[in-house]
Amino acid sequence: GQNIDQPTEMTATEGAIVQINCTYQTSGFNGLFWYQQHAGEAPTFLSYNVLDGLEEKGRFSSFLSRSKGYSYLLLKELQMKDSASYLCAEKDSNYQLIWGAGTKLIIKP
Amino acid sequence: DGGITQSPKYLFRKEGQNVTLSCEQNLNHDAMYWYRQDPGQGLRLIYYSQIVNDFQKGDIAEGYSVSREKKESFPLTVTSAQKNPTAFYLCASSLGQGGAEKLFFGSGTQLSVL
């Protein structure tokens, strides 16, 4: 079956930069999503990549390499409100989402 | 403002009881989904519906049932056959199911067993 792998937890300092990695199996790929989820709340859409390269959107950027089955989410100028879980999800050949377990990002002052 | 609303926020189920989680959207989206979220695991798809009066099982449909009588509504019933129902349940919708279609999520229902 499909597997999405991302680190369980990361810690970073306010004002710094952090990169959250995600690897997936490359068969039947139809796009890679990143969502942000604060504890006990709804996930919210951050980014979608279907072509190789970097997509920049304000403080957040997302990168995709289809040949390597690899994506990352880059967060710059970290703020305390960025403390959340970041969910990576691949859209498969049936257009269904396969979700990673999420990376809990802890921001320290 | 358009959005997707789940209720209740917290729900408790007694042994042998069926409970129903509500999900309503006013985004005019065709597709709706139910996911289950457990600690340390990715979201798992329970059921989805691409159009009114039609729905398909997801990866973990056993012990659950749904209906889609109206475009706006996609309620989920957790039946007594679901032996481990404690989880955070998320409803979502999307305009369609194409590659770039993003999901809009409700705020979730935390279901616990008494």
pLDDT digits (tens, 9 = 90+) for A7-64: 999 999 999 999 999 999 877 888 999 999 999 899 999 999 999 999 999 999 999 9
What is the per-residue pLDDT across A67-87, written as a single tens digit (0 to 9) for each? 999 999 999 999 999 999 999
Q: How far is CA B30 from CA A96, B23, B48, B81, B89, in A?
A: 15, 14, 11, 29, 20
Contact A98 B41 (CB under 8 A): no
B98 touches chain A (CB under 8 A): yes
Selecting from A33, A41, A50 the residue whose C-beta is nearest the C-beta of B102 gives A33
Site from B33, B88, B97, B103 to mutate, A interface, most A CB atoms within 10 angstroms: B103
Q: What is the pLDDT of residue A39?
A: 92
Q: What angle do CA B49, B51, B57 make, to 5 degrees?
A: 25
Contact A95 B104 (CB under 8 A): no
Structure token pair of residue A99 = 């979700």
Selecting from B41, B97, B107 the residue whose C-beta is nearest the C-beta of A41 gives B107
Selecting from A44, A50, A99 the residue whose C-beta is nearest the C-beta of B43 gives A99
Give the pLDDT band (50/70/90) at residue A5. very high
Q: How far is CA A50 from CA A2, A22, A90, A102, B72, in A?
A: 17, 14, 10, 20, 30
What is the per-residue pLDDT across B80-99, written as a single tens digit (0 to 9) for each? 999 899 999 999 999 987 77
Whether A98 has a pLDDT exceeding 70, the answer reads yes
Contact B103 A97 (CB under 8 A): yes
Question: Which single residue is written with the structure tokens 């970290």?
Answer: A78
Give mean pLDDT, residues B101-111: 95
Share of chain B above pLDDT 70, in %: 99
Give mean pLDDT, residues B99-109: 91
Q: What is the pLDDT of residue B48?
A: 96
Site from B32, B88, B105, B110 to mutate, A interface, most A CB atoms within 10 angstroms: B105
Give the pLDDT band (50/70/90) at residue A3. confident
